[in-house]
């Protein structure tokens, strides 16, 4: 099997066409692009995004691509870095659950920058997005969950997804595609310590993945070679970064079963590991008509990865709050919703919220680890001041394939994120219309410039 994995992937990638894609796959790819755009807009006012913008300006380069949220013309490399980082910065980007992976942030950032540089059509962009998702989600699934213990999948596998998307746009042949995959794999990086400490390096992983993956494809196009078996070679990517590999998953169903249809669209602007707990808290608050004044204590049991990543009991910044199960559950119980505005400093430091947080205890339940990552289970038990005990278990999150968001839901999310970033409803509606009809666009560069001009004029 080792000898055939890369050729199978390369053959799929090099021969994939728009006509090969079923209608629901095409529609989902456009939905992924819209969701990605909303995630980028959501980061528009973040300090990290502003620093990246300044860095890109100082680096210079031929202006052949766009920093979408700001309208700045820059090099395609800079666009990969900034757009890819911003897409992952506000914790609003899509998820491939079984791979513990955010495919959109790096893959679409790379695809959009390359498409803009070489003047690809909207249909070509759709094919690149689908190909990047299909290959990279399978790699992510094959190496997880063991990979996630030490590595940030979005940084590592995202590099490979970006390379595949760029390879499709550059029309690399099978041999060149294998080289691109190998050149991407040797650049793949992203330490899990960066996630645990909630540093600026986490969104940077996504931006660097987009940059390195796209660069790998351009290098392969120019004649650079890479290993013939970059994934399952003796010292290939999968063997190096995982101690439990599902080799069959690397190519299982490739071309026939579409993983892009299994993507989770986030409903809340926080770490995905908090979402099942939020769902459970919201359910009890709404069904039992609970307010903060009714709650005596809250016990939350969840899987270990959720506690490891989102176990911050005392968040000091809005970004840290997105990785705090206690804070997210407290907000759900106090406000009956979890939206971007509830991660603002004034809410975070509110004595009322802090008082609710003090009544919440979070613990890991090893029994819930057995079905991770397919299930992201949270169990909440609330004891009310009048003595009632209320329990709710959520195995799946709102937005997961089992509880999917509709196209209208994704559009509403896009509008909310954009409005919160200061963009008018009229302009957001026009952008959404353009994206959902991108198959009619002859040159993606015109779309990118039109989007940027409409929100920055």
**Domain limits, the chain:** 5-267+412-456, 272-394
Examine the pLDDT at 51 and tell me if it is beyond 90.
yes
Examine the pLDDT at 344 and tell me if it is beyond 80.
yes
How distant, in Å, are the alpha carbons of 86, 363, 366 from that of 374? 27, 20, 15
Alpha carbon distance 155, 15 (integer Å): 26
Alpha carbon distance 265, 272 (integer Å): 10
Give the percent of the chain with pLDDT over 90: 97
Across 398-417, average pLDDT: 96
CA torsion 62-66-71-73 (nearest 10°) is 0
Examine the pLDDT at 281 and tell me if it is beyond 80.
yes
Alpha carbon distance 341, 439 (integer Å): 34
Alpha carbon distance 61, 81 (integer Å): 13
Q: What is the pLDDT of residue 4?
A: 77
Contacts of the segment 354-360: beta carbons below 8 A, 24+ positions apart: 355/292, 356/292, 356/295, 356/330, 357/313, 357/326, 357/327, 357/330, 359/295, 359/296, 359/297, 359/298, 360/297, 360/298, 360/300, 360/325, 360/326, 360/329, 360/330
Examine the pLDDT at 3 and tell me if it is beyond 70.
no
What are the structure tokens assigned to 392, written together? Answer: 């709710």
Q: Do residues 94 and 104 touch, judged by C-beta distance below 8 A?
A: yes
Examine the pLDDT at 111 and tell me if it is beyond 70.
yes
Residue 247 C-beta-side C-alpha neighbours within 13 Å: 12
pLDDT band per the 50, 70, 90 thresholds, residue 274 = very high
Alpha carbon distance 211, 55 (integer Å): 15
Q: Do residues 14 and 172 touch, judged by C-beta distance below 8 A?
A: yes
Omega of the bond prior to 145 within 30 degrees of 0, cis? yes
Chain Cα centroid distance, residue 239: 24
Q: Is CATH 1.10.4100.10 correct for 5-267+412-456?
A: yes
pLDDT band per the 50, 70, 90 thresholds, residue 2 = very low
Phi, psi of 368 (to 5 degrees): -80, -10
Alpha carbon distance 340, 329 (integer Å): 14
Cross-strand partners of 380: 300, 392
Examine the pLDDT at 391 and tell me if it is beyond 80.
yes
Q: In what order do the strands lie in the sheet with 360-364?
A: 360-364, 295-302, 378-384, 389-394
Q: What is the pLDDT of residue 288?
A: 96
Examine the pLDDT at 455 and tell me if it is beyond 90.
no
Q: What is the pLDDT of residue 1?
A: 45
Residue 277: exposed, middle, or buried by beta-carbon count in 10 A (0-12, 13-18, 19+)?
Answer: buried
Examine the pLDDT at 52 and tell me if it is beyond 50.
yes
Across 141-168, average pLDDT: 98
pLDDT tens for 288-313 read 999 999 999 999 999 999 999 999 99
Alpha carbon distance 192, 241 (integer Å): 12
What are the structure tokens assigned to 437, written together? Answer: 């009809």
Cross-strand partners of 74: 65
What are the structure tokens assigned to 403, written together? Answer: 């509880």
pLDDT tens for 18-31 read 999 999 999 999 99
Across 334-340, average pLDDT: 95
For β-strands 360-364 and 295-302, DSSP reports them as parallel
- Residue found under tokens 């039109």: 450
Smallest Cα–Cα separation from 5: which of 172, 166, 237? 237
Q: What is the pLDDT of residue 136?
A: 99
Examine the pLDDT at 94 and tell me if it is beyond 90.
yes
Cross-strand partners of 39: none
CATH number belonging to the domain at 272-394, selected among 3.40.50.300, 3.30.1330.120, 3.60.20.10, 1.20.120.80: 3.30.1330.120
Across 411-440, average pLDDT: 95
pLDDT tens for 216-230 read 999 999 999 999 999
Examine the pLDDT at 256 and tell me if it is beyond 80.
yes
Q: Do residues 413 and 35 touch, judged by C-beta distance below 8 A?
A: yes
């Amino acid at each position: 099997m080792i000898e055939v994995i890369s050729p199978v992937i390369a053959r799929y990638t090099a021969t994939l066409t728009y006509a090969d894609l079923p209608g629901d796959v095409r529609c989902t790819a456009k939905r992924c692009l819209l969701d990605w755009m909303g995630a980028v807009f959501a980061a528009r006012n973040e300090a990290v995004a502003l620093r990246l913008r300044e860095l890109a300006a100082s680096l210079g380069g031929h202006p052949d691509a766009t920093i979408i949220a700001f309208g700045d013309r820059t090099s395609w490399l800079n666009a990969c870095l900034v757009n890819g980082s911003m897409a992952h910065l506000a914790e609003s980007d899509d998820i491939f659950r079984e791979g513990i992976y955010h495919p959109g942030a790096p893959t679409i950032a790379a695809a959009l920058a390359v498409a803009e540089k070489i003047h690809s059509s909207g249909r070509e962009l759709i094919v690149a997005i689908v190909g990047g998702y299909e290959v990279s989600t399978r790699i992510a699934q094959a190496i997880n969950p063991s990979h996630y213990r030490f590595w940030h999948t979005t940084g590592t596998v995202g590099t490979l997804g970006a390379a595949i998307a760029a390879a499709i746009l550059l029309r690399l042949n099978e041999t060149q595609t294998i080289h691109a995959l190998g050149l991407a794999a040797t650049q793949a990086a992203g330490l899990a310590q960066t996630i645990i400490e909630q540093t600026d390096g986490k969104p940077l992983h996504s931006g660097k993945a987009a940059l390195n993956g796209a660069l790998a494809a351009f290098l392969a196009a120019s004649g650079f070679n890479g290993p013939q078996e970059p994934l399952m070679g003796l010292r290939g990517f999968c063997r190096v970064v995982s101690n439990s590999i599902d080799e069959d998953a690397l190519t299982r169903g490739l071309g026939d079963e579409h993983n892009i249809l299994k993507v989770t669209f986030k409903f809340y602007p926080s770490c995905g590991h908090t979402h099942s707990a939020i769902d459970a808290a919201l359910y009890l608050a709404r069904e039992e008509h609970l307010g903060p004044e009714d709650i005596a204590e809250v016990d939350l049991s969840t899987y270990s990865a959720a506690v490891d990543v989102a176990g911050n009991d005392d968040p000091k910044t809005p970004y840290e709050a997105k990785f705090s199960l206690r804070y997210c559950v407290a907000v759900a119980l106090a406000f009956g919703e979890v939206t971007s505005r509830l991660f603002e400093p004034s809410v975070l430091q509110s004595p009322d919220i802090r008082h609710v947080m003090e009544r919440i205890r979070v613990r890991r339940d090893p029994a819930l680890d057995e079905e991770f990552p397919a299930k992201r289970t949270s169990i909440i038990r609330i004891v009310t001041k009048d003595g009632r005990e209320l329990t709710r278990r959520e195995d799946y999150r709102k937005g997961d394939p089992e509880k999917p968001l509709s196209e209208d839901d994704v559009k509403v999310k896009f509008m909310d994120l954009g409005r919160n970033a200061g963009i008018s409803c009229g302009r957001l509606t026009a952008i959404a219309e353009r994206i959902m009809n991108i198959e009619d666009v002859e040159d993606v560069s015109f779309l990118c410039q039109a989007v940027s001009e409409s929100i920055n004029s």
